[in-house]
């Protein structure tokens, strides 16, 4: 049985129509839809077990704490982390990257260098820009090759004895490029730089193993992988995480408090001040269980087939330009394209009239758009519930769009 | 899945003005010029006016934008061309929508209003903008989200 045939009945939203057509949801890279199991796990938590975590000595408080901490264990196993205290639950990828930019750059001196890449989402650029401005750091971006790959030769030139942090995407949210994480990490480590990987577009689609990626930090968003919004994962290698000063204070992140000082709590709670996203953690557990049951290798294979179908089909439509690495190179589950003479927002609006949801615009990657010489692109992205028939609908609609305006 | 005459927000007026704009082009001798971008989508509109004796003696637009924004710019120019400046200042969103005859959702409304804010800038002294986020960025930030 095909993966979409297996999973589609689990996604209630796929039953609805949009503009008189069955919904064709091709925007999971922005936020995926949720299987019933995730939605129900969250309502059940609110209906049966809700209380604040860690501080309540009563039955509900203990149940909520156990559910919340179980989520951490599931994440640890899902991404192949060695220790549960390496998993910090945040509010999302953006939140995690801001936390890291603040905490890592706090220790840096003027003139130290932070390296990002030209293909970063704004959330892995702006926090570093802000920190660089505050601390007088130098921010540099490794360029992207004409093929849409990270320029590894340039990376070698950009790395210097002053490079302290290298922050880069695992998978580009526009190009679909899968960056060689382990290779970049080992290059960065030769210069003693800390590595931060934005895994927002990788975690939903690839089997992850932190020990083989070998990076210091890895962040991602459950809402792009069938889970809820409002929660994020920040993995930090224990040796590095335990040397990091917290930048946000509040309840739960302390052990003992006096008026003028405090002693920080152990990992990972040191980085989780305030009441966390508890129901969302429960939803995250359910999303991970769902994905694990399908098998991440099978998920990757399914989405790869859909991407290939879309790439091959789009390449045959006159006036369509497809962005990203050539088809022969393995890529993530996003396909960005432009149609000659049409603005991406018009393309998206015309596809929406057929019930097809795609993303259009700069995809929070303005420097990359500038590099590609476009104001924006139209992007289709795929998840476990998408079918080859839906990709065929997309191709049919794209071919018709050129004459629709 | 057939392509109908009118789909989504694209009225016949928008399609016609997008394909065959009446007022797109340069305006030699323009003395009130303004340009702005919508940071959400990259729409860029440049409005050129020639003001003579309190009247808009000539008007044209150029730019790189979606169909709705281009059609709106074409309509805005038509509504102000040849009119007294005082009247040109009063042209508003409702006037443009009345001509466009389209069902514009809130997420695309900025596509309609961008040419109007550029018009206001041009009439108020016409500072030419380089596209950096300006004083209207708060307003522009509303509408569709820009996460990916």
Residue A120 confidence (pLDDT): 98
For residue A268, cis peptide bond before it (omega within 30 degrees of 0):
yes
Name residues whose C-beta falls within 8 Å of residue A184's C-beta, 6 or more positions apart in sequence.
A150, A152, A155, A166, A168, A195
pLDDT over 80 at A355, yes or no: yes
Alpha-carbon distance A25 to A23, whole Å? Answer: 6
Q: Which two tokens mark B93?
A: 């969103």
Chain A residues with CB-CB distance to B1 below 8 A? 21, 354, 393, 396-397, 400
Tokens of A334: 């996003």
**A305 Cβ under 8 Å from any chain B Cβ:** no
3-class secondary structure, A67: helix
Dmax (CA) for chain A in angstroms is: 70
Residues A196 and A67 sit within 8 Å (Cβ to Cβ)? no
**What phi, psi does B43 have (nearest 5°)?**
-55, 135
B48 close to B27: Cβ distance less than 8 angstroms: yes
Q: Do B19 and A405 touch (CB under 8 A)?
A: yes
pLDDT over 70 at B2, yes or no: no
Cβ–Cβ gap B3/A400 under 8 Å:
yes
Residue B147 scores a pLDDT above 80 = no
Mean per-residue pLDDT for A30-34?
98
**Per the structure block, which two tokens stand in for A212?**
């083989």
Question: What is the greatest pairwise CA distance in chain B?
Answer: 54
- Structure token digits, residue A156: 């070698």
The whole-number pLDDT of residue B146 equals: 35
Confidence of residue B39 (pLDDT cuts 50, 70, 90): confident
Query: What's the number of CA atoms in the CB half-sphere (13 Å) around residue A283?
Result: 26
Q: Determine, for residues B66 and A343 on separate chains, whether the beta-carbon distance falls below 8 Å.
A: yes
The closest of A368, A367, A372, A349 to A359, measured between CA atoms, is A349
A399 touches chain B (CB under 8 A): no
Residue A165 CA to residue A127 CA, distance in Å, equals 13
| pLDDT of A71 above 80 | yes
Q: Active site includes A364?
A: yes
Answer yes or no: is pLDDT of A327 > 90. Answer: no
Are the beta carbons of A129 and A207 closer than 8 angstroms? no
Alpha helices in A49-195 (DSSP H): 59-79, 93-105, 126-135, 152-158, 181-190
Mean pLDDT of all residues in A246-259: 94
Task: Give the pLDDT confidence of B42-80 residue by residue, as tens digits.
Answer: 789 999 999 999 999 999 999 999 999 999 999 999 999
The CA–CA distances, whole Å, from A32 to A29, A229, B36, B40, B79 equal 7, 10, 34, 22, 44
Distances (CA, A) of A307 to A330, A357, A395, B108: 10, 16, 12, 29
Confidence at residue B127, expressed as pLDDT on a 0 to 100 scale: 53
| pLDDT the model gives residue B136 | 37
The span from the CA of A377 to the CA of A368, in Å, is 11
Cα–Cα distance measured from residue A103 to residue A243, given in angstroms and rounded to the nearest whole number: 10
Full-model pTM: 0.91
Q: Closest to A345 (Cβ–Cβ): which among B19, B44, B66? A: B66
pLDDT score at A404: 84
Query: Considering A202, A364, A372, A384, which one is annotated as catalytic?
Result: A364
Which chain B residues touch A376 with a CB distance below 8 Å? 41-42
Is the confidence metric ipTM above 0.85 for this complex? Answer: no
Cβ-based contacts of A364 with chain B (< 8 Å) = 146-148
Residues of B in contact with A21 (CB under 8 A): 1
Query: CA of B111: which chain A residue's CA is closest?
Result: A345
Instruction: Using a pLDDT cut of 90, give the percent of chain A over it.
Output: 94
Residue A394: both structure tokens together: 């997309």
Are the beta carbons of B1 and A21 separated by less than 8 Å?
yes
What does pLDDT average to over chain A?
96
pLDDT at B4: 43
Q: What integer pLDDT is reported at residue B40 of this predicted model?
A: 76
pLDDT score for B141: 34
- Residue A135 CB burial class (10 angstroms; 0-12, 13-18, ≥19): middle
Would you state the pLDDT for residue A183?
98
> Which chain B residues are closer than 8 Å to A232 by Cβ?
none
Residue closest to B36 by CA, chosen among B26, B27, B46, B28? B46
pLDDT of residue A349: 93
pLDDT for B139 equals 36
Q: Does the beta-carbon distance from A369 to B42 stay under 8 Å?
A: yes
CB of A29 less than 8 A from some CB of B: yes
**pLDDT value of position A329:** 86
DSSP β-bridge partners for residue A320: A339
The C-alpha atoms of residue B45 and residue A365 are separated, in whole angstroms, by 21
């Amino acid at each position: 049985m095909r993966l979409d045939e297996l999973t589609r009945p689990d996604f209630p939203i796929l039953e609805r129509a949009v503009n008189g057509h069955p919904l064709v949801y091709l925007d999971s890279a922005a936020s995926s839809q949720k299987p019933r199991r995730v939605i129900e796990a969250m309502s059940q938590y609110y209906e049966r077990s809700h209380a604040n975590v860690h501080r309540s000595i009563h039955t509900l408080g203990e149940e909520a704490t156990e559910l919340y901490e179980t989520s951490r264990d599931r994440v640890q196993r899902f991404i192949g982390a060695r220790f549960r205290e390496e998993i910090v639950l945040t509010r999302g990828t953006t939140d995690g990257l801001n936390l890291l930019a603040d905490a890592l750059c706090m220790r840096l001196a003027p003139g130290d260098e932070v390296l990002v890449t030209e293909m970063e989402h704004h959330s892995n650029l702006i926090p570093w820009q802000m920190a660089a401005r505050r601390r007088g750091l130098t921010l540099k971006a490794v360029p992207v090759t004409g093929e849409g790959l990270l320029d590894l030769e340039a990376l070698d030139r950009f790395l210097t004895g002053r490079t302290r942090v290298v922050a880069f995407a695992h998978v580009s949210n526009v190009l679909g490029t899968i960056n060689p994480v382990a290779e970049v990490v080992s290059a960065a480590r030769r210069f003693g730089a800390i590595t931060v990987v934005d895994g927002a577009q990788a975690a939903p689609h690839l089997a992850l193993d932190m020990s083989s990626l070998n990076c210091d930090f890895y962040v991602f968003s459950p809402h792009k992988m069938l889970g809820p919004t409002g929660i994020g994962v920040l993995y930090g290698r224990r040796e590095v995480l335990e040397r990091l000063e917290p930048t946000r204070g509040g309840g739960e992140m302390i052990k003992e408090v006096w008026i003028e000082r405090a002693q920080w709590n152990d990992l990972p709670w040191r980085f989780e001040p305030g009441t966390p996203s508890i129901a969302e953690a429960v939803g995250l557990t359910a999303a991970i269980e769902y994905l694990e049951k399908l098998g991440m290798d099978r998920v990757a294979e399914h989405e790869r087939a859909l991407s290939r179908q879309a790439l091959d089909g789009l390449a045959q439509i006159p006036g369509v330009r497809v962005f990203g690495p050539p088809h022969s190179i393995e890529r993530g589950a996003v396909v960005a394209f432009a149609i000659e003479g049409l603005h991406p927002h018009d393309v998206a609006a015309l596809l929406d009239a057929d019930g097809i949801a795609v993303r259009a615009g700069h995809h929070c990657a303005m420097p990359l758009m500038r590099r590609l010489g476009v104001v924006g692109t139209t992007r289709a992205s795929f998840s476990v519930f998408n079918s080859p028939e839906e990709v065929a609908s997309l191709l049919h609609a794209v071919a018709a769009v050129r004459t629709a305006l | 899945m057939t392509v109908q005459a009118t789909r989504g927000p694209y009225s016949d007026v928008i399609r016609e003005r997008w394909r065959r704009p009446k007022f797109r082009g340069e305006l030699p001798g323009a003395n009130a010029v303004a340009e702005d971008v919508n940071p959400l989508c990259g729409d860029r509109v440049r409005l050129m006016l020639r003001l003579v004796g309190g009247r808009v003696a000539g008007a044209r637009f150029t730019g790189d934008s979606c169909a709705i924004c281009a059609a709106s710019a074409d309509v805005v120019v038509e509504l102000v061309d040849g009119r007294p400046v005082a009247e040109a200042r009063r042209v508003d969103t409702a006037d443009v929508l009345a001509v466009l005859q389209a069902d514009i959702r809130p997420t695309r409304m900025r596509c309609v209003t961008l040419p109007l804010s550029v018009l206001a800038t041009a009439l108020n002294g016409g500072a030419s903008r380089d596209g950096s986020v300006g004083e209207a960025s708060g307003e522009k930030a509303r509408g569709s989200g820009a996460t990916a």
